Chain A
């Protein structure tokens, strides 16, 4: 093996093109390919093989004939999709909720992680961390129940306000109030858990950098601003690109649990809509079409985000 390693392919003595060279390089890197082999088979079997189901988007799918025998109808499903009033509402809501999540929810774990690292007492830090994770373990179904108890018109907060003669706040029953409640509950659930990745990144920062900064006379904020944030910048950017790339997809449970007829105007999103038309009304073709459209937009957004990141001189996710 050692003699292979010594023939470094990037060495300038080799020609850059030529089939033989490529083969040789592949042989040199055989371990890397071997590592990739099992995941590659996995992705073919479990991810690519079922993709034949996407054909449904172009079919009048018949459950009993299956994908291979159902009649093709071209772009009819997409036409129907664009002719539905609801579709644009749902698209707008998905973008709106995700965008607000991004603005409010994205910085929260970062700030919390920095606060945690700035804590002096290790015991206090560990205890706080463990507690901060707790909301992440509650399923949305349960959180929905709790939210009702707390924010409903006759819930805890409104009862409390009533004792001071303050009017009820329609946290869950008026669309703008609902929007804020929805976003803040999301922050509550995710901020603690989201710190983990940042804490891991911060843990990897070389401590000498801080010492050097301290010698240079940097204060508390100076150290955070000039050492911590730049050191974990790549982590932040990767997470940001990934969330931008998902701005048209949205989790199912959270909106589904929180939506109610008072706020459906804002609360119906693509995932819940696809579920309703697909699983509940069994209109698989239409729901596949909506899903496919969503994926396409996402991938376009992701590639765009990646492009601009690289243009700005940062390392993207590729």
Chain B
């Protein structure tokens, strides 16, 4: 946005400072990434001896080979993608369904409905009643147990509602006078104007689902439908587990060149990659929102 304006000398200095500060922050964020990357290509002896920092030591492809050879990783990835897309679509649809009516101040019962939704942000029944419910509904060990319980985030709903409220009323009122109904207004006016926030919330929902596994840990025991993060969690835990097993008198059979660290590093990169790949496509909508800004009065 600043591109069109003339740049003064002071401007250039400030730009330089900003670029540097952002660069430093980026470096701090990226350092562990390099560590993880280096670990995923390093050998067991070097890792156990603590010699790996930012570059691979005793270069090996074993962890990645092992990862790729684990067929369940790919089916798990496919499942997680399907799950995330389903979840995000439903979640966005339902969140819009709640947020939009609640922006209408004259809606009867609006306050009561708000309180009803809001209350659940703080109060829940606890794990046992929830488990019994899922079991009774026959949802355990299905994809839907990972979809339904969290499909509306009240937090996201509030963000969306407040964005809707910040849109100018005049367009909607004009449409109402022209005879459009609420659904038409929502679809043709409100949503197109809300692209940045819709993209943001979709990202929130998608990433939340992608990264979440606590619910899967409880509700999913079928390895065929275990999300990628659950797999990742198990791989991480099997390292600590090796210690437990010794105490339980169990032989930890089959030592290989792999170690918990390098295989888990490979898993992290593998599991995070899809979201980082998808992000630029969503980013387009942030920019689309920018140009739409001009439509506003």
Seen from chain A, the residues whose Cβ lies within 8 Å of a Cβ on chain B are: 1-2, 4-6, 8-10, 22, 25-26, 29, 31-33, 35-36, 38-40, 42-43, 45-54, 56, 63, 67, 112, 115-120, 124, 126, 128-139, 141-142, 146, 149, 156, 188, 191-192, 196-197, 199-201, 203-208, 210, 214, 219-220, 234-235, 238, 242, 245, 249, 279, 284, 288, 291-292, 295, 298-299, 302, 315, 317-318
Contacts and interface: CB of A to CB of B under 8 A. Distances in A.
A91 to B, nearest CB: 16
B162 to A, nearest CB: 5
Closest 6 CB pairs of A and B: A50-B125, A2-B179, A53-B125, A53-B129, A50-B129, A32-B101
Contacts of A295: 122-123
Contact of A206 (B104, B197, B211, B296): B296
A40 to B, nearest CB: 8
A203 B290 contact: yes
Interface in B167-215: 176-177, 179-183, 196-197, 199-200, 203-204, 207, 211
Contact of B200 (A31, A32, A200): A200
Interface string B206-242: 0100010000000000000000010011001000000
Contacts of A139: 211, 229, 232-233
Contacts of B3: 120
Contact of A6 (B179, B203, B293): B179
Given A36-B97, A134-B33, A43 B120 contact: yes
B162 A56 contact: no
A278 to B, nearest CB: 8
B133 interface: yes
Contacts of A188: 28-29
B126 interface: yes
A234 B22 contact: no
B133 A50 contact: yes
13 contacts: A32-B107, A42-B152, A46-B149, A50-B124, A50-B133, A52-B125, A118-B14, A132-B29, A138-B268, A141-B236, A204-B166, A206-B296, A207-B290
Contacts of A56: 126
B270 to A, nearest CB: 12
A234 B18 contact: no
Given A131-B30, A137-B211, 16 more contacts: A2-B179, A8-B176, A32-B182, A36-B98, A38-B97, A40-B116, A45-B133, A47-B124, A50-B130, A63-B128, A119-B22, A139-B232, A196-B203, A206-B294, A242-B158, A315-B165
B289 A135 contact: no
A56 B128 CA distance: 11
Contacts of B183: 31, 35
A51 B159 contact: no
A99 B197 CA distance: 28
B183 to A, nearest CB: 5
B106 A10 contact: yes
B1 interface: yes
Interface of B: 1-3, 5, 10-11, 14-15, 18-19, 21-23, 25-26, 28-30, 32-33, 35, 53, 94, 97-98, 100-101, 104, 106-108, 111, 113-114, 116-117, 119-130, 132-133, 148-149, 151-152, 155, 158-159, 161-163, 165-166, 176-177, 179-183, 196-197, 199-200, 203-204, 207, 211, 229, 232-233, 236, 264, 268, 272, 275-276, 279-280, 283, 286-287, 289-290, 293-294, 296
Residue of A47, A48, A116 with highest tally of chain B CB at under 10 A:
A47
Contacts of B125: 49-54
Q: Which of B23, B98, B129, B287 counts the most A-chain CB atoms under 10 A from its CB? A: B129
B98 A39 contact: yes
Contacts of A35: 97-98, 100-101, 182-183
B129 A142 contact: no
A115 B35 contact: no
Contacts of A46: 133, 148-149
A24 B59 CA distance: 74
A234 B293 contact: no
Nearest to A47: B120
Contact of A43 (B23, B116, B207): B116
